[in-house]
Amino acid sequence: MQNISLLIYLTPLLIILAIYVRHKKRINRRGKARLREAKEAGLTEPASIHPVINPGRCFGSGACVKACPEKALSIVNGKAMLTDASHCIGHGACLTACPTDAIELVFGTEKRGMDIPFVNPSFETNVNNIYIAGELGGMGLIRKAAEQGKQAIESMLQKKNEGNEYDVVIIGAGPAGLSASLAAKEHQLNSITIEQEESLGGAIYKYPRNKVAMTQPVELPIVGRVEMYDISKEELLGFWQRILRDHKLKVNFNERMETVTKTATGYTVKTSKATYQTANLLLAIGRLGTPRKLDVTGEDQAKVVYRLTDPEQYCQKHVLVVGGGDSALEAAISISEQPGTTVTLSYRSEAFGRVKPKNRERLQHAEASKRLTVQLKSSVKEIRLDTVKIELADKKVVEILNEAVIICAGGVLPTPFLKEIGVMVETHHGKRVI
């Protein structure tokens, strides 16, 4: 009788334990599969800031996995792991979600170093009165970038110079630049913000539609604490547009910085539209702000752009997409889905290497459905008014009808510019984010 009673009590526990073990095994299998797919596709290196998990502290609660908006983390062998490294854009939600402090955010890896300009605790570089805040300094987190922009302005309050038109010229209207603009206004500094894009937001402006852009509250000068969780790109840009309008911030869009020259009282900043004299300069620009060009005849035409904003605008058109990364594949596929389009995807290599498996599958389906044409081992030779000339794999040059060209060849790091103005640049392999 006693054994029967014990069995009655133990049976539910054993069933629960069996379900729990099976659930853990399923999660582990899924994590291993995602890691294997990433390795096979060559997508194991994160682009920027990313989490590193201490296995000694991690007990596999899965809190970080659930918190990650990009689904870049998985549980493997009972521990959290960055399985989809290429998806990670440094939200930092995993860091705050971890109950055991097993996660730290770093930039750079053992294999891929990351160039970071030298800045002191006040965000001033080794060059007097030149400051860096935000993504260029390795900080991709919106909350931290905004803090840095504010702190950089506060650090230069005693460095005003009457011999200049401005106390500070701010380059970039992303999170760091906008926060700095607010701080400059709060402290009554004479400032101007220059942005080379047509809209504010920095790198966030280039995110795909509805991508989660921010997961934590942010403290902004004048505005105060802003409670935002899992905010999409569109919602965040709309919020910043309201700040720009309500506080009458002086931001010049579609204006690109070209040169910075030292003067007796500060710096001369020459842009594509004007020249400014300033006591201080704050670089709040992105790491890949300048698109990489093809350097071919005809690239200066209005029909040539360097990112896709709205696929619908290419309806009924002949379009050429150049590039072999995820952005190029996604652009070509989305345009091919528009009515009446003729899409050609040109890539210089013989295969698409570092792309997500899902994009590879979508591309194969689109090609099989004859919605687009893929030309590997090809290169653009000339962009004409109504056509483009492409050299194919067999070295034959063909001319195809064309009304739009989208070049997705990545961006150019501003390292040469930084070195030109004397800013020290260091290469870091897995340095912890402060």
Cβ distance 48 to 87 under 8 Å? no
For the chain, residues classed under CATH 3.30.70.20 are 2-107
CATH among 3.40.50.12780, 3.10.105.10, 3.40.640.10, 3.50.50.60 for 115-290+414-432: 3.50.50.60
CATH among 3.40.50.180, 3.30.70.1400, 3.65.10.10, 3.50.50.60 for 304-409: 3.50.50.60
* Block residue for tokens 């009446």: 340
Cβ distance 326 to 356 under 8 Å? yes
Does the domain at residues 2-107 carry the CATH identifier 3.10.580.10?
no
Q: What are the pLDDT digits (tens) for 191-202?
A: 999 998 877 766
Least confident of 3-7, 235-239, 251-255: 3-7
CA 411 to chain centre: 11
Residues 6+ apart with CB under 8 A from 141: 49, 90, 91, 92, 105, 433
Cβ distance 179 to 162 under 8 Å? no
Question: What is the percent of the chain with per-residue pLDDT over 90, rounded to a whole number?
Answer: 42
Instruction: Let me know the angle formed at the C-alpha of 425 by 70 and 48, rounded to the nearest 5 degrees.
Output: 5
Predicted TM-score of the model (pTM): 0.64
For the chain, residues classed under CATH 3.50.50.60 are 115-290+414-432, 304-409
Q: What are the pLDDT digits (tens) for 126-179?
A: 999 999 998 787 666 677 888 889 999 999 988 777 789 999 999 998 888 999
